[in-house]
Structure formats: C-alpha cells, structure tokens
Amino acid sequence: MAVPDIYAAGIASGWKVVDASTLTAPQTLEADVAIIGSGAGGGVAAEILSLAGLKVLLLEEGPLKTSDSFKDMDESRAYSELYQEAAARATSDGAIAVLQGRAVGGTTTVNWTSSFRTPAQTLGHWATQHDVAGHGVNDMAPWFEKMEQRLNIAPWAQAPNANNSVLKRGCDALGWESHVIPRNVKDCWDLGYCGFGCPVNAKLSMLVSTIPVALEHGATLVHRLRVRQLQHAGGRISGAIGDALSGDGRTPSGVTVTIKAKHYVAAGGAINTPALLLRSQLPDPHQRLGKRTLIHPVVISLALMPERIDGFYGTPQSIASDHFQWKDGVTGPMGYKLEVPPLFPGISAGVVNSFGEQLRKDMAALATTNAVLALLRDGFVPQSEGGGVRLAADGSPILDYELTDYVWDGARRAYLSMAEAQFAAGAKQVRPAHLDAPYYTSWNEARRAIAELPMKKFRAALFTAHLMGGCGMSENPGRGVVDSRGRHHQIGNLSVIDGSVFPTGIGANPQLSIYALSAQNASALAKELGT
Amino acid sequence: MKTESISVPHDQDQGLSRRDFLKVGAVFSAAAACAGMLGVLSGCGEAAKAPAKGFGFLRQGDLDLFSALAPAVVLDLAQLPTGERGARLGDVLHKLDATCSALDSSKQQELRKLLDLLAVAPLRYLLAGVGAWSEAGTDTLHAFLARWRSSRFATLNAGGNVLVKLISTSYYVLPATWPASGYPGPPARLYQAINS
C-alpha cells in the first residue's frame, strides 16, 4: 500500500471511533464537550479542546471515509458518498446548486484547498456594522498564522494548470490584479482530485489533521449519527438526542443515542447548524436564527480555447483575481472574486446544461474548455441580506435564497469580466453558463449580448460551495444568535463554532476564515471550561 | 419549484397555452390533483406509487419517462448498438435513482410532483405536447425540452433544467462515456502508484 490509511492504523492503536450504523441498542454517551459536526469548525474545536484535556465527543452525520476509499479517484463515487444529497443539494426552488460536504471532515474533505485570510475590509465591516468584537485584523493575525502553520498553508509553488493559466493570462493581458492561491497541502501530487477526497492524504483537511490529533488525545468520534435535537431547560442545554443512521447513511436505524455533556458546540455549518437549533426550538427572541444565510452566489463562463486545457487534471484552483472585489468600496455595487473550477465530466455536464447535439458538442470539447467562475460577495448592503434556512415537515433543512437586482447586476458584470478575460487569454469562443447565451466569437459580440441577457433564476446557472451565516455573531443580542466568541446569547452552555457565525459573506473561499475564527473561539472556550 | 400566475400571451408559449392566457400555478395544482385521481380511476393506484423493482425512488412511470428522454438528451445513447444501449440506459437509470434517493424530503416531493404530472397522458400532452413516452420521437422530445426551457414561466424552466441535468450528469459520470468527453480517466501512472 503506497499510501497508509491513517484511520486503519489509528483505530488499530485504540482510537475511539464508532460507526453508529452498527449500533443495535440505545446508548448514552457522556463527555465534557459534545461537538456536533466535524468540518472546518468542529474539527478545529475538537483538536483544541482535546489538547486542553477536555473529554470530547465529536458527532458526525456523514460517514467516515478515508484515503483507502478515495483511491478510485471517481467522480460518481465521491458525489454519492461525500456530498450533501449526493451533490444534488439545491436551494428550495432548485435555482442554485449547492456543493457541500457530508462526511467526517465535512466540506474540508472535498474542497479544492483554497485558503485565504479573511479580507481586512470584511473584518472591518463586521466590527463597524455588526457589533463584532475581538476579530479585527490585529486580533486575528496570530490565529491566521497559527492555522496556516498547522495546515501547511502556503501559496501554490508549482505552475498553475492550463485551466488556471487562462485566468492568469487574461488578467495579465488586461492589467488586472491576480494572485497565487494559498493551499492547505503537504507533499501534494498535483493530481486535481481534491473534490473527490484526497487519495494521498496530501490535503490537510480536518479528516487527516485535527481529528486524528483529537482522537490521539482521547476524543471519541461517532459517525453516521444525526443529532436530531438539543434539549433545553432553564437557559441551558440538558442533553442531545441523536438518531443512528443505517448502512445507507440516510435512513434512521431506529437506534437512539443520548448525549450528555457539560458544554455543547454546534458545528454543522450554515445549513445544518441553524436547522438543529430550529428543531430544538431554542429561544430566539429577536428572530435571528436561520436568517442572513450568505452563499457567495457563483456564476460561470465557459471558453473554447485553442490549446488543450484538461481541466480535470492538476491543482484545481491556484490563481485568483480580486480586481473587481473592492474596486467600488466595501458597500458599493457588488464585488466578486474570479477563480476557476475543475472540469470533470459529470459536473461539467451540469454546468453546460445542454441537450441533444449541443450537449454532444459541449462534452466533446471538454478537454479544450476553460471555465472561469465569479464568487459574488453577498451580505454587505441592505439590498443583499442573503437567504434563510427553515425546516421541512420532517425537520430537514430548506435553504431559501432570492437574488435582488443588486445581486443580478453583480452577476451580469461578472459575466462581462469573465468573458473579457477569456478572450484576452486567447479564447476562440466564450459562453456564459446561461440558457439564453450561445457561444460568442469576439469580446465585442459578447459585451453587447451579455448586456441584454435576461438575469433570472433558471436562465442563469447559479451555484454555491460556500455556506455562511444563519447564526450570525454580534455583541448586540438583537442582531445576532451568538456573541463574538460564538456563545449563544440565550443558552449558557452552547457555542456555535463554524461558518454559520459569519455576519456577511467573506469575499474569498471561507475555509481559513472558519479555521482561524474557530481556533480563536475554541481556545477561549477551552480556557473558560478549564477554570 | 414555485408556482406562478402570470398571463401568457398566446404567441409566446405556443405548445403550452390553448387559450389566450393560462394560470400555470393553478394548472399545476389542478393537474397534480387530477394526477392522483386518474391514478385511482385507472386502477393503478398503490402499485404505481411504489418504487420500481430494484429502484429506491423511481417508479415504473418515471422509468418510462427517463428511458424515452435519456436518448434524446444524450444522442450517443440512442446510437449505441441495441444490446449495449439497454445496459448503458440501465446504468444511467440506476445512477439517476441513487441521486434522487439521496435528496432531502422537500426536494423529493417537488420532483415527485413533476414526475407525476408527466406520468398522466392527458396532462403530459397538454403541458409537454408528448403522447406515449415509448412512441415519442427525438424531435418531439427536443421540442418539449426546448419549449419548457424557453418558457417565460420559471416553473417550466426549472422542470426542463432538472430533467436534462439529471440525465446528462448521470450519463457523463459513467466511465464508459469518458471517451465522449475526452476525459482519459485518472492519470494512469499516478493511479497505479496510488493503488499499488
């Protein structure tokens, strides 16, 4: 075996890992801290709290899948095993596709490794507009450094792949800012399969970094366990109830797990954490719970290039441009970050969204197709309040997200920027991923046509891979679910440590923002619980 | 998918409207109710509501729909030799079924409404211009998809998109289809190193 499986060895050495689908009788589990969710927030919290000597219980709805099961490097297997709703999750109306992880390690197991510090403008906006304290640029700097060291985060030192090179070339030709993306990898093979689970454990996701350390220090990991409810009385959580899932990873087996802890950390991410708190009917006197869900709405532009792109191979994201991010200020017309997505056949078929002869042509051209994406920075002005999470009859989360004229204006400008960059990089033809857009053969043609595109849901293909907000932090209990340290405003022994505390979108891929903020708040929590 | 009630001028949504205007939302609700009733009347109530044998979500009526629509969405599928075509179609249907089975309840319900609507012949003819799935030609199916996707009704756009994407993604993730997308598969040398 060329790549040793960390978990096979760890479990053999005595790590406490429980697959809840194997449980046949009700259980009660006790701990100092129960962490619900094992992604960027829960993984960091588990390591810090375990190292502080606390007895940690880490609970995860998704399965434990490790490098051994990633070795097939197969797109279809990854979607069905590692993503929420088999990668077919979407907003309530089906208009925005949601790519979100669902496994031990959460989305960090399947993300594309881009690791940016929270922009100073965003942190400043939180302090002045959302009554956030203790997370200014200077407060955060040591935490960014700590997590960058912990996860070996550094700008990608190898050459960008052809897909990323198109963006770089376009930006250079137009005099636009671009930069090399920092990544959380060590001894990376430059394969390009980050989204399917790293087969060589080079990506320092929570799966292979913090969670193993927590397990080394006595934490217990229970996976395939869906925490249904937090029980509360007198302003405190008294216990949690979880449903063990059966082997299919979705259907409850009927076995109930009761959790008793001194402190509870909700870390399920911006869809599942608000849903858990809603199911638990926690006090929400100012109706902030599940509000302001920010998603960095994504639009995409496709380009037919004269050269081979092979967008399925090589580090998926290594070049980004912030040229349009802050150019009109923090609260001007919507800013956006330009990047590229990897282009595997399945995801690409969904992006081109064509049928018949056109689909055949689109797919036959995949190896010479470049795609650029724009992450729209949402949540910074009153015309962009984000969406919200509510519950279906069975308690599962439903995400609503409407696009205002303000957001559509950003999306149209993003289509223009992407097409301009692609033509400047030598594209023969460019087409926005939009039902009404054919391939354009020149920037002039594209500019005129994009100006007239109807900007509507289902016509514009929309995506998100960044789920934030819904349990926003603020020192003002009227404006947030939790305070700046993630402590619930109404419940004494409950913290939220994940991306759902963000008051706005980040303006960059959020994983390092979640890592650093979680490290800071989990360290404060460890101190508090230790005394 | 949301319901809407906007008037449709006769000339813009031809195959859809039989009158000068049509309340799409109302039609969808009424149609859904009829779909349930017709099922009872035609004596295929409960059996037709169970997933088809070997499937978790798709019912026999859905299999009829996707079996007809898949070769229209993916022309390569239609052009395979008969034996291979059946096996490939089976792979697509199972992949598609696995995706539908993984959806949250609210999404499954929305999809169910759409599929039920298209399972009832008179409604299918009214809304999609398609008679029996098994007899519908590629041109008819393309016209149906094109009409729904170019409609000014978001509900029909959503329906047209979801049918196309379920089929196209389920098809192109299959390793047997990689030659058609120019994807050589995982890089052979590294794949071997990892799997040695």
Q: At what angle do helices B121-128 and B24-41 cross, to 10 degrees?
A: 160
Chain B, 153 to 172: residues with Cβ < 8 Å from chain A are 154, 157-158, 161-162, 164-165, 167-169, 171-172
Residue of B nearest to A396 (CA): B104
- pLDDT for A145 equals 98
pLDDT band at B49 (very low <50, low <70, confident <90, very high): confident
Summarize pLDDT for A53-74 with one digit per residue, the tens: 999 999 999 999 999 999 999 9
- What is the identity of the amino acid at A429? Q
Please check the confidence at residue B45 and state whether its pLDDT lies above 50. yes
CB of A281 less than 8 A from some CB of B: no
Phi-psi region at A234: left, alpha or beta (left = phi > 0; alpha = psi -120 to 50):
left
- pLDDT for B1 equals 39
Please say whether the dihedral angle defined by the alpha carbons of residues A305, A308, A313 and A314, taken in this order, is positive or negative.
negative
Of B72, B142, B183, the CB nearest to A312: B183
Look up residue A466 and give its two tokens: 């960044």
Summarize pLDDT for A88-108 with one digit per residue, the tens: 999 999 999 999 999 999 999
Query: Which residues are A449's β-sheet partners?
Result: none
- pLDDT for B9 equals 36
CB contact under 8 A, B187 and A191: yes
Summarize pLDDT for A422-439 with one digit per residue, the tens: 999 999 999 999 999 999
CB of B148 less than 8 A from some CB of A: no
Please check the confidence at residue B169 and state whether its pLDDT lies above 50. yes
CB contact under 8 A, A396 and B104: yes
| Contact by Cβ (8 Å): A197, A69 | yes
- Tokens 């939009």 appear where? A434
Please check the confidence at residue A295 and state whether its pLDDT lies above 60. yes
pLDDT band at B101 (very low <50, low <70, confident <90, very high): very high
Q: Tell me how far CA of residue A193 lies from CA of A62, A115, A164, A185, A523, in angstroms.
A: 20, 17, 15, 13, 33
| Contact by Cβ (8 Å): A369, A303 | yes
Summarize pLDDT for A359-374 with one digit per residue, the tens: 999 999 999 999 999 9
DSSP letters, A105-164, are: TGGGGTS--B--PPPHHHHHHHHHHS---S-SHHHHHHHHHHHHHHTTEEE--SPP-HHH
Summarize pLDDT for A462-486 with one digit per residue, the tens: 999 999 999 999 999 999 999 999 9
Q: Which residues are within 8 A (CB) of A496 and not within 5 positions of it... i.e. 6 or more apart?
A: A265, A266, A267, A273, A471, A473, A481, A482, A486, A488
Q: Which residues are within 8 A (CB) of B29 and not within 5 positions of it... i.e. 6 or more apart?
A: B3
Q: At what angle do helices B105-119 and B60-73 cross, to 10 degrees?
A: 80
Residues of chain B with pLDDT > 70: what percent? Answer: 76
pLDDT band at A3 (very low <50, low <70, confident <90, very high): confident
Please check the confidence at residue A397 and state whether its pLDDT lies above 50. yes
| Contact by Cβ (8 Å): A513, A506 | yes
CA distance A91 to chain B (A): 9
| Contact by Cβ (8 Å): A159, A180 | no
Look up residue A443 and give its two tokens: 């920037």
B26-49: average pLDDT: 55
Please check the confidence at residue B44 and state whether its pLDDT lies above 70. no
A335-351: average pLDDT: 98
pLDDT band at B34 (very low <50, low <70, confident <90, very high): low
- pLDDT for B5 equals 37
- pLDDT for B162 equals 98
Please check the confidence at residue B36 and state whether its pLDDT lies above 80. no
Please check the confidence at residue B26 and state whether its pLDDT lies above 90. no
Measured between alpha carbons, how far is A405 from A455 in angstroms, rounded to an integer?
Answer: 9
Please check the confidence at residue B6 and state whether its pLDDT lies above 50. no
CB contact under 8 A, A366 and B149: no
Summarize pLDDT for B115-156 with one digit per residue, the tens: 999 999 999 999 999 999 999 999 999 999 999 999 999 999
Chain B, 27 to 66: residues with Cβ < 8 Å from chain A are none
| Contact by Cβ (8 Å): A19, A224 | yes
**Cα A77–Cα A211–Cα A213 angle in degrees, nearest 5:** 140
CB of B5 less than 8 A from some CB of A: no
Summarize pLDDT for A188-220 with one digit per residue, the tens: 999 999 999 999 999 999 999 999 999 999 999
Please check the confidence at residue A271 and state whether its pLDDT lies above 50. yes
pLDDT band at B18 (very low <50, low <70, confident <90, very high): very low
- pLDDT for B41 equals 47
Look up residue B169 and give its two tokens: 């993604």
Judging contacts by C-beta atoms under 8 Å, the chain B residues touching residue A198 are none
Measured between alpha carbons, how far is A349 from A408 in angstroms, rounded to an integer?
Answer: 24
Please say whether the dihedral angle defined by the alpha carbons of residues A183, A187, A192 and A193, taken in this order, is positive or negative.
negative
Look up residue B89 and give its two tokens: 């179609």
- pLDDT for A263 equals 98
Look up residue A75 and give its two tokens: 């797109």
B41 vs A343, residue with greater confidence? A343
Measured between alpha carbons, how far is A389 from A92 in angstroms, rounded to an integer?
Answer: 10
B70-85: average pLDDT: 96
Q: Which of B140, B163, B183, B192 to mutate to test the interface with A (most CBs of A within 10 A)?
A: B183
Query: Where do the DSSP E strands lie in A415-477?
Result: 429-432, 462-464, 468-470
Q: Pick from A528, A530, A502, A529: which is nearest to A515 by CA? A: A502
Residues of chain A with pLDDT > 70: what percent? Answer: 100
The alpha carbon of A99 is separated from its chain's Cα centroid by a whole number of angstroms, namely 8
- pLDDT for B48 equals 74
**pTM to 2 decimal places:** 0.94
Residue of A nearest to B153 (CA): A458
Please check the confidence at residue B19 and state whether its pLDDT lies above 50. no
Residue of A nearest to B149 (CA): A435
Q: What's the full length of chain A, in residues? A: 531
**Cα B22–Cα B24–Cα B28 angle in degrees, nearest 5:** 130
Summarize pLDDT for A158-168 with one digit per residue, the tens: 999 999 999 99
- pLDDT for A4 equals 87
Residue of B nearest to A93 (CA): B1
